[in-house]
């Protein structure tokens, strides 16, 4: 197999020096040798760089490294450097989430991941959810601030990652970004207001490759920025990227992919067809619950066990500790274990009749103590309140309702799903067993669940490394039929039923029934 070609590529050139017998112009001489590598017939050269590049050619005796972006329909020459600079070729993959932004820095020469970080989306200070931010963006000043916040955060990540790995951010020649439709609009400074108003029309779905310079990003100024296309107002490029990463389209089997984020985006299909829909699930499943939630990272409680008899609680942290909060998968574990230990009833209320030393009160409401103030990182109690529980249950109910609505709308049942991909920041950590217990995921044979982790980020990284994913990305976007989730009485009835644990209809969750 031929090695995949990254989105940007470097070529070592040694041009024949000019002579009376070969008086090809300097840049044409360079282009001519590049043509020899194939596929570069329509190479474009930016006028403004020509004097600098010609001077490099002449100074180096025509031994240079040329960097070409292969992202657009016509390849573009984006840098000429003295000598052999092929080793310095990096790319950044970005998953631009509503709540968090995740980054991976890749060495595109060697094809290896060299750094990874995850940051809160600074827009959170304007509002936790998409709708609030769209409101902020209705004011041009607000739109600019939202835009600048994300651009600056990406620039901080670029500076941090390149600093940490002792490389020049000028050697980062490509950036791929996947986000939901609103996040992409805000990142580009495009007014997203029609996204939240019927008939929910974005300004643009399919974007041409852009240059880092025009977006104000501090990688190489002519570095290529590729943004995954959106499908609808609530079905974004993050899902397109995740579908690509899952290889869902390579299979005959009926598969479902759910991207669990602040929005729940779901796609169902196989190699023949794809249908998708999306709805707000809230930030709870990403660990975005106000009091003690956090993203999966150092100090996060990711696993909880409660002995049904003694009600004794144990937990597992990510990293060495001390505990700092609880992430999405930890929360699901917590609720599932509390439910199985009778500490939470089927209606989602704390069962205060069951004695436990952990019952406490916060702001005069019942709460469950997870970690005492002495044990935590910041000296504050880690408690789980009825309010937190209500939020989580709304999120899980929304998720389950969206899943069932989509699957039923195309004439299938949940049990027909042969592969169930779970994407999202916490997809790696989620325990399907406990997610089923609380009724977040349907009660399918466990081997059908395939956690993908942050599939949006991973799909973006794949695109950095293999430009053929560009076509796949466009095919996916073109193939998906977007189903507008009609929040009618029927939907609301299903949602209400799904707010129970695991559900008002226990026969939907036979394995959970057997446990109690």
Specify the residue for token string 């796949």.
Answer: 472
- What is the C-alpha end-to-end distance of the chain, expressed in Å? 53
Strand partners, 259: 265, 423
The residue (of 149 and 202) whose beta carbon lies closer to a copy of itself is 202
Report the residue from 91, 128, 202, 442 that binds a copy of itself according to the rule CB under 8 A. Answer: 202
Could you tell me which residues are beta bridge partners of residue 257? 267, 421
Least Å distance, CB 131 to a copy of itself, is 17
DSSP letter at 484 equals P
Query: Which of 3, 141, 198, 363: binder of a copy of itself (CB under 8 A)?
Result: 198
Q: Which of residues 5, 11, 26, 136 is near a copy of itself by CB under 8 A?
A: 26
3-state secondary structure of 382: strand
Part in contact with a copy of itself (CB under 8 A); list of ranges 166-174, 227-235, 277-285, 324-332: 227-235
Distances 161 to 104, 113, 254, 345, 399 between C-alpha atoms, Å? 9, 12, 39, 46, 34
Measuring CA to CA, how many Å separate 224 from each of 35, 48, 255?
A: 21, 17, 33
Work out which of 164, 214, 250, 307 binds a copy of itself, going by CB under 8 A. 214
Range in contact with a copy of itself (rule: CB under 8 A) among 150-158, 228-236, 250-258, 441-449: 228-236
Q: Which of residues 60-89 bind a copy of itself (CB under 8 A)?
A: 72-74
Residue reference for tokens 């474009």:
44
**How many residues contact a copy of itself, by CB under 8 A?**
43
In angstroms, the CA 251 to CA 450 distance is 14
Dihedral angle over CA of 10, 11, 14, 16, nearest 10? -120
Give the integer Cα–Cα distance in Å for 26 and 216. 31
Region of 292 (left: φ > 0; alpha: ψ -120 to 50; beta: rest) is alpha
Which one of the spans 90-98, 109-117, 201-209, 348-356 is the region binding a copy of itself (CB under 8 A)? 201-209
Of the candidate residues 19, 310, 353, 507, the single one contacting a copy of itself (CB under 8 A): 19
DSSP 285: G
Q: Is residue 221 classed as helix, strand or coil in its secondary structure?
A: coil
The CA distance from 133 to 429, in Å, is 29
Q: Which stretch binds a copy of itself (CB under 8 A): 37-45, 98-106, 117-125, 296-304?
A: 37-45
Q: Interaction with a copy of itself in 450-509: which residues (CB under 8 A)?
A: 482, 484
Which residue in this structure is represented by tokens 């529980």?
389
Candidate residues 36, 199, 320, 355; the one interacting with a copy of itself per rule CB under 8 A: 199
Q: Which stretch binds a copy of itself (CB under 8 A): 43-51, 88-96, 326-334, 502-510?
A: 43-51
210 binds a copy of itself (CB under 8 A): yes
Among 115, 128, 192, 232, binds a copy of itself (CB under 8 A): 232
In this structure, are residues 279 and 398 in contact, taking their beta carbons and an 8 Å threshold? yes
Rounded to an integer, what distance in angstroms lies between the CA atom of residue 389 and that of residue 90? 43
Determine the interface stretch with a copy of itself among 20-28, 302-310, 367-375, 503-511 (rule: CB under 8 A): 20-28
**Which CB sits closer to a copy of itself, 57 or 258?**
57
Q: Does 373 interact with a copy of itself (rule: CB under 8 A)? A: no
What is the Cα–Cα distance from 174 to 90, expressed in whole angstroms? 7
233 belongs to the binding site for a copy of itself (CB under 8 A): yes
Nearer to a copy of itself, 107 or 238 (CB): 238
Rule CB under 8 A: choose which of 114, 203, 381, 497 binds a copy of itself. 203
> What's the CA gap between 266 and 153, in Å, rounded?
28
Options 5, 11, 24, 167; binder of a copy of itself; rule CB under 8 A: 24
Binding residues for a copy of itself restricted to 163-192, rule: CB under 8 A = 188, 190-191
- Hey, is 63 helix, strand or coil? strand
93-122: contacts with a copy of itself (CB under 8 A): none
Residue ranges of alpha helices (H) inside 127-180 are: 130-137, 140-164
Q: By CB under 8 A, is residue 36 in contact with a copy of itself?
A: no
Stretch 327-346 residues interacting with a copy of itself (CB under 8 A): none
Q: Are 276 and 235 in contact (CB under 8 A)?
A: yes
Provide the binding-site residues for a copy of itself, judged by CB under 8 A: 18-20, 23-28, 31, 42, 44-45, 47-48, 50-51, 54, 72-74, 188, 190-191, 194, 198-208, 210, 214, 230, 232-233, 482, 484
């Amino acid at each position: 197999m031929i090695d995949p070609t990254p989105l940007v590529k470097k070529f070592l050139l040694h041009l024949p020096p000019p002579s009376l017998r070969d008086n090809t112009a300097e840049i044409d001489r360079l282009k001519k040798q590049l043509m020899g590598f194939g596929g570069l017939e329509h190479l474009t050269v930016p006028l403004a760089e020509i004097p600098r590049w010609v001077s490099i050619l002449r100074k180096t005796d025509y031994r240079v490294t040329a960097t070409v972006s292969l992202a657009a329909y016509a390849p573009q020459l984006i840098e000429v450097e003295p000598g052999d600079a092929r080793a310095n070729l990096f790319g950044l993959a970005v998953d631009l989430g509503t709540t968090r932004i995740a980054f991976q820095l890749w060495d595109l020469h060697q094809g290896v991941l060299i750094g990874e970080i995850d940051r809160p989306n600074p827009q959170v200070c304007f509002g936790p959810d998409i709708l609030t931010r769209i409101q902020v963006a209705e004011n041009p000043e607000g739109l600019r601030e939202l835009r600048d916040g994300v651009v600056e955060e990406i620039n901080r990540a670029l500076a941090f990652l390149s600093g940490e790995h002792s490389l020049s951010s000028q050697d980062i020649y490509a950036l791929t970004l996947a986000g939901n439709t609103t996040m992409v609009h805000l990142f580009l400074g495009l007014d997203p207001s029609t996204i939240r108003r019927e008939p929910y029309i974005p300004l643009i779905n399919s974007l041409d490759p852009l240059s880092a310079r025009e977006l104000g990003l501090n990688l190489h100024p002519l570095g290529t920025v590729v943004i995954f296309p959106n499908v609808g107002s609530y079905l974004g490029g993050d899902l397109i990227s995740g579908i690509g990463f899952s290889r869902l389209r390579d299979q005959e089997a009926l598969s479902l992919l759910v991207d669990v984020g602040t929005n729940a985006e779901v796609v169902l299909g196989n190699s023949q067809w794809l249908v998708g829909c999306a709805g707000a699930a809230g930030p709870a499943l990403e660990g975005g619950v106000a009091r003690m939630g956090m993203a999966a990272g150092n100090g996060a409680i990711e696993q909880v066990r409660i002995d049904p008899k003694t009600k004794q609680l144990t937990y597992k942290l990510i990293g060495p500790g001390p505990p700092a909060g609880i992430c999405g998968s930890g929360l699901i574990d917590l609720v599932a274990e509390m439910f199985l230990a009778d500490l939470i009833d089927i209606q989602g209320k704390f069962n205060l009749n069951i004695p436990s030393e952990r019952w406490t009160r916060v702001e005069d409401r019942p709460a469950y103590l997870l970690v005492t103030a002495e044990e935590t990182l910041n000296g504050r109690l880690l408690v789980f309140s009825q309010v937190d529980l209500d939020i989580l249950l709304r999120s899980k109910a929304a998720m389950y309702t969206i899943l069932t609505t989509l699957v039923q709308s195309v004439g299938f049942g949940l049990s027909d799903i042969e592969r169930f991909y779970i994407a999202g920041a916490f997809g790696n950590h989620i325990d399907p067993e406990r997610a089923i217990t609380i009724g977040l995921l349907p009660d399918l044979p466990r081997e059908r669940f395939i956690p993908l982790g942050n599939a949006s980020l991973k799909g973006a990284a794949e695109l950095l490394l293999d430009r053929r994913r560009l076509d796949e990305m466009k095919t996916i976007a073109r193939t998906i039929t977007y189903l507008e989730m009609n929040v009618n009485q029927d939907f609301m009835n299903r949602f209400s039923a799904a707010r129970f644990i695991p559900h008002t209809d226990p026969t939907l969750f036979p394995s959970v029934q057997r446990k109690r």
